[in-house]
Structure 1
Amino acid sequence: MKMKAAVMVELGKSLEIQEVTLQEPNANEVLVKIAATGVCHSDLNALNDESTPLPTILGHEGAGIVEAVGPNVKGLKIGDKVALSWVPYCGTCEFCVTGAVHLCESAFGPMFNGTLLDGTSRLNKDGKTIYHNSLLSTFAEYAVVPELSCVKIPDEMPLTQASLIGCGVATGYGAAVHAAKVTPGSTVAIFGIGGVGVNAIQGARIAGAAKIIACDVKEANLEIAKKFGATHTINVACENTEEQLKAMSDGYGVHFSIDCTGNTIATENAWKGTRKGGTVVAVGAFNPNKTLNLPAGGFHRLGKVLKGSFYGDTQPFRDFPVIARLYLDGKFNLDDLILNRIQLNDINEAFEAFHNDCCINVGRTVIEFPLENNFDNKRTIEFVTVENSFKRTDDTELVEA
């Protein structure tokens, strides 16, 4: 089938809006009509990363409606609303069978190579391969993705809000609830109030923390943090962070610190401001050329835990529906994470905003796609491949987003 997509054709350059060809899903794959997709800073990183294969379609935060399924797909049907996870897992390795699906390595080889799980691409233009991004490539009208990237969500869940769940929202929420295991009545410090940090605040609030301290260098971000549940703030550029954290926690330090910055200095400050027996979670990605320095004297007597957390220890099929339900129940704020709503043709404006220090970065610009064509009672979708063509016609009536 032909579709419109934003294609990365050159390192660091603007994306090009092109008509590309998408092939049908293989046995364990799903065709999703993309309804909305967030523009994440990680997409900018990929745009500037020399290891990104070219050409590629970026985008890894998305939600939409199932349009077709491969013959081995059992858990989804045409018309289901889904939020997409960019980290599918194998389900059989040692990590998966013990519940730590976020540590499964099966997706990363294909992910780095720009393919789907079987090592091939479903995308091309005039017969030339186009690569996938994070096994999703949501900057397009449709995506063929692994079944294990599709998490069914309630029919009443709006898809623009749902599109945010799969990356920063789940990572921040999971960092507080699953990685740190924040306890009711505790004191929590969150470092870095961006797309992940603000959701770590929400996770800590939902977990029952009594005091949530937002730590950042931007006063605007600290003000925004209060809207999501922060009870106190520290401008780490102006104040002694360790002293302030201890002053706000009876001199002991906080019970939990969650560093979302990827800055080793922030992690060191988080460690110093956390009490004996406390937990420090580092969820941001460090520069591999940096060194993390912690005081060695009396280290064994502190009883502290320093933990790295990938994807907030998220289990998508457990956590995405929970977050959706919390939103629908008015307990999780996704609405205020939507900074702008744009069309695909305007995608480069969202990338340009990342370079503007005056722009708010607590949230996402979301690309929305029109879904009106999906509400016809009869629809025909055609896929064209080198070997053959595949046609599906169905009478499924979809629920409007």
Structure 2
Amino acid sequence: MTTARQVIKCEAAVAWEPGRALVIEEVEVAPPKAHEVRIKTVATGVCHTDWEYLYETHKGMKSRPFPLVLGHEAAGIVESVGPDVTTFSPGDKVIPLFLPYCGECERCQSPKTNHCRKNWENAQVGVLADGTSRISCKGQQVYQFLGVSSFSQYTVVPDTSLAKIRADAPLDKVCLLGCGVSTGYGAAVKAAKVEKDSSCVVFGLGAVGLAAIMGCKVAMAKTIIGIDINPEKFEKAKLFGATDCINPRDFSKPIQEVVVEKTNGGVDYALECVGSPVIMSAALESTTDAWGMCVIAGWTETESISVLVEKLLMGRTLKGTYFGGWKSVLDVPKLVDDYMDNKLKLDEFITHTRQLNQINEAFDLLKNGKSIRTVIYLRGPQETDGPSYAT
């Protein structure tokens, strides 16, 4: 029996208030309206940003309205489409996107940026174009995180925030391209434009940082230094291409001084993948003068960075990147192709898999530094691409 134009009841992990563990609830997902698509979510990654908005809204994060369904790094299958949707059909494999691409605005037309603002302000406060969410629970509206909310078995997103991907792509792997891997990889190859035989340092060896290391490796950098206070991540970093790994706690001097000494004056490229203003400053100061570049990919919203002006006057460049610089709808399918052609690693980021009712365990793994990415399966094996339920 078709579910099109019907309200769908399903399970979702609901955040009822900040600082409180997620609760698995039965929710109602309304049909898509004009220029919207309803998706059957198959798999979703658990990103550090999800955890921060739940537990650290007071630390550099803008507040979001609650109750809220988190999740923004996912892949699924189109269940139905709303009026005026012309580029998607039921059964299409898709990746929902927190960054839109309308293809019509000045920013979409420009090669200089990927910062489309279609429905942007509404998405930041958890609603779609008409100012409401499509998810409700116990008679109450539940807000959609960044317009996505992938911790729900069904969700509705704008058709400008959705990438159609090839039919043979494994959804439990390519879901990672919805955020972390694309951001870090793009920080290196698109934002920094790392050059062959250059020297690089990557601060933070989570999924974003490891993807940045992968990007430096693909760009054929000669020296790639990974920095993290958790040495258990060093083996994984070297798998992705790091030539050296440093734990700042092993030194009494600031880490930027260690990097400058190790590289005889500083690196060509520094990529900050933590979201800490202190580390952002350290990353900039680890670069060489004259041409050193620091790219900030780590996420924080309300904090300020301290920059010694002389560091910039001496020729360094400090820049930020959002979603790695990729034009979301256009570029994500190409990244999927690269993965399918063995040009891009994804499987290696996945350290754990869990089911939806184990979502809080996935958060604990992330918080305790035990996981790089935990992939959450939102359905039984018969409803997916056949994922393995590894632990």
* Same fold, TM-score > 0.5, yes or no: yes
- Matched to 2:377, the amino acid is E
- Matched to 1:208, the amino acid is M
Aligned to 1:264: 277
Aligned to 1:369: 378
Aligned to 1:180: 192
Say if 1:234 and 1:244, in contact at 8 Å, map to a contact too.
Answer: no
Measure, in 2, the Cα distance between the counterparts of 1:26 and 1:287: 31
Aligned positions of 1:31-42 closer than 5 A: 31-42=38-49
- Say yes or no: does 1:15 pair with 2:22: yes
Output one character per residue of 1:365-386: Cα deviation in whole Å (capped at 9) or x when no partner. Answer: 11113366669xxxxxxxxxxx
Give the CA deviation at 1:91. 3.6
- Matched to 2:29, the amino acid is L
- Say yes or no: does 1:284 pair with 2:291: no
- Matched to 1:365, the amino acid is T
Measure, in 1, the Cα distance between the counterparts of 2:147 and 2:163: 14
Long gaps (5+) in structure 2: 1-7
Measure, in 2, the Cα distance between the counterparts of 1:54 and 1:19: 17
Long gaps (5+) in structure 1: 376-398
Q: 1:223 to 1:325 in 2, by over 3 A?
A: same
Give the CA deviation at 1:171. 0.5
Aligned to 1:149: 161
2:247 is aligned, of 227, 235, 244, to: 235
Measure, in 1, the Cα distance between the counterparts of 2:221 and 2:319: 19
Corresponding residue pairs, total: 372
Measure, in 2, the Cα distance between the counterparts of 1:186 and 1:53: 44
Aligned to 2:330: 318
TM-score (norm 1): 0.86
1:343 is aligned, of 334, 355, 358, to: 355
Give the CA deviation at 1:38. 1.0
Say if 1:36 and 1:160, in contact at 8 Å, map to a contact too.
Answer: yes
Give the CA deviation at 1:295. 5.1
Say if 1:89 and 1:107, in contact at 8 Å, map to a contact too.
Answer: no
Give the CA deviation at 1:148. 1.9
- Say yes or no: does 1:70 pair with 2:82: yes
Q: 1:123 to 1:286 in 2, by over 3 A?
A: closer
Measure, in 1, the Cα distance between the counterparts of 2:160 and 2:218: 27
Say if 1:63 and 1:84, in contact at 8 Å, map to a contact too.
Answer: yes
Which structure carries more strand by proportion? 1
Aligned to 2:133: 121
Give the CA deviation at 1:267. 2.4
Measure, in 2, the Cα distance between the counterparts of 1:373 and 1:273: 50
- Say yes or no: does 1:191 pair with 2:200: no
- Matched to 1:197, the amino acid is G
Q: 1:248 to 1:195 in 2, by over 3 A?
A: same
Say if 1:87 and 1:107, in contact at 8 Å, map to a contact too.
Answer: no
Give the CA deviation at 1:194. 1.0
1:245 is aligned, of 251, 259, 273, to: 259
Say if 2:153 and 2:379, in contact at 8 Å, map to a contact too.
Answer: no
Give the CA deviation at 1:92. 3.6
Measure, in 2, the Cα distance between the counterparts of 1:225 and 1:66: 35
SS across alignment from 2:220: coil
- Matched to 2:49, the amino acid is S
SS across alignment from 2:211: helix
Give the CA deviation at 1:35. 0.7
Deviates more, 1:311-320 or 1:175-184: 311-320
Measure, in 2, the Cα distance between the counterparts of 1:331 and 1:47: 35
- Matched to 1:55, the amino acid is P
Q: 1:128 to 1:270 in 2, by over 3 A?
A: closer
Aligned positions of 1:50-61 closer than 5 A: 51-61=63-73
Measure, in 2, the Cα distance between the counterparts of 1:314 and 1:201: 17
Aligned to 1:296: 310
Measure, in 2, the Cα distance between the counterparts of 1:79 and 1:339: 29
Measure, in 2, the Cα distance between the counterparts of 1:207 and 1:138: 32
Output one character per residue of 1:123-148: Cα deviation in whole Å (capped at 9) or x when no partner. Answer: 12344222111111111111111112
Measure, in 2, the Cα distance between the counterparts of 1:167 and 1:209: 24
Measure, in 2, the Cα distance between the counterparts of 1:304 and 1:52: 35
Aligned to 2:218: 206
SS across alignment from 1:274: coil
Give the % identical residues. 40
Give the CA deviation at 1:329. 2.2
Deviates more, 1:131-140 or 1:86-95: 86-95
Give the CA deviation at 1:228. 0.9
- Matched to 1:224, the amino acid is K
Aligned to 2:370: 360
TM-score (norm 2): 0.88
Measure, in 1, the Cα distance between the counterparts of 2:126 and 2:284: 37
User: Cα RMSD (Å) of the superposition?
Assistant: 2.3
Measure, in 2, the Cα distance between the counterparts of 1:263 and 1:56: 25
- Say yes or no: does 1:81 pair with 2:84: no
SS across alignment from 1:177: helix
SS across alignment from 1:277: coil
